[in-house]
Amino acid sequence: MKVPNRVKIFAWRAFKNGLPTRRNLKARHIVQEALCEWCTEGEKDVAHALYYCLSVRQSWKHYFLVLMTDDAQLDIIQLALKVMSKRKPEDLDKFFLIAWSMWHRRNQKVFENKILPTDQVIVHALILAKDYKEARFQKQNRKLSSCCWQAPPQNALKLNVDGVVFDTLNRVRVGLILRNTSCEVILVASMQENGVEIELLAILRGLQSAFP
């Protein structure tokens, strides 16, 4: 999943029934009863806390109509599988982002006595994911741009070619440089061309120059 680590950890805990829901707290004798603190309609297990509770259920329909087609009490794994049935990998990311936002909302009520609108916490989670993806993209780009030229192995030469199109001058030039393992320039050249597939032309001219 392409989501922040905290959401991945949350998803793993939800799958393993490791979230401190009212039902789990009751099983560990930390609370007396497991009724949901939002709707008091039923025991609060993971699926209820994140999806079935009336306090959050309506918000899901804006994002996952596929989950609204039946009212069966599925567990969190079955709900995730249903989302995945649409075969869009980004849907699973969105599913757990929204589920995580619902859990965050629940914690705000329990520990901070704050009641946040569901739409607000969902939008916050989706923006967080967008920022995360952009940061990953920028990091990958930095890695790519930091790739530097490497000398060829012993007894080999390396030919680099490139082509440039000067739109305003209606001209094309290809350039090439041939270097050995000590980075010594064996050949450098630049020539004007009329070709359209400039990159291919640059490679061709490079090979012709290196192996006349």
Which residues sit at the interface with Zn ion, rule CB under 5 A?
Answer: 36, 38-39, 53
Pair type for strands 185-193 and 158-166: unpaired
Smallest gap from Cβ 2 to Zn ion, in A, equals 30
Q: How far is 7 from 93, CA to CA, in rounded Å?
A: 9
C-alpha triplet 155, 160, 164: angle, nearest 5°:
170
The answer for 183, left when phi > 0, alpha when psi is -120 to 50, beta otherwise, is left
Q: Which is nearer to Zn ion, 39 or 84 (CB)?
A: 39
Radius of gyration of the chain from Cα atoms?
29
Q: Which is nearer to Zn ion, 21 or 205 (CB)?
A: 21
Smallest gap from Cβ 58 to Zn ion, in A, equals 13
Smallest gap from Cβ 36 to Zn ion, in A, equals 3
Helix (H) or strand (E) holding 107: helix 89-112
Residue 195 is which amino acid?
G
Q: Which is nearer to Zn ion, 53 or 172 (CB)?
A: 53
Q: Which is nearer to Zn ion, 19 or 53 (CB)?
A: 53
Smallest gap from Cβ 44 to Zn ion, in A, equals 6
Smallest gap from Cβ 61 to Zn ion, in A, equals 17
Q: How far is 93 from 84, CA to CA, in rounded Å?
A: 10
Smallest gap from Cβ 48 to Zn ion, in A, equals 6
Q: In 10 A of CB 112, how many CB atoms? A: 9
Q: Which is nearer to Zn ion, 52 or 96 (CB)?
A: 52
Helix (H) or strand (E) holding 40: none
Q: What is the DSSP string of 118-182?
A: HHHHHHHHHHHHHHHHHHHHHHHHHHHHT----PPPTT--EEEEEEEEETTTTEEEEEEEEE-TT
Q: Which is nearer to Zn ion, 34 or 84 (CB)?
A: 34
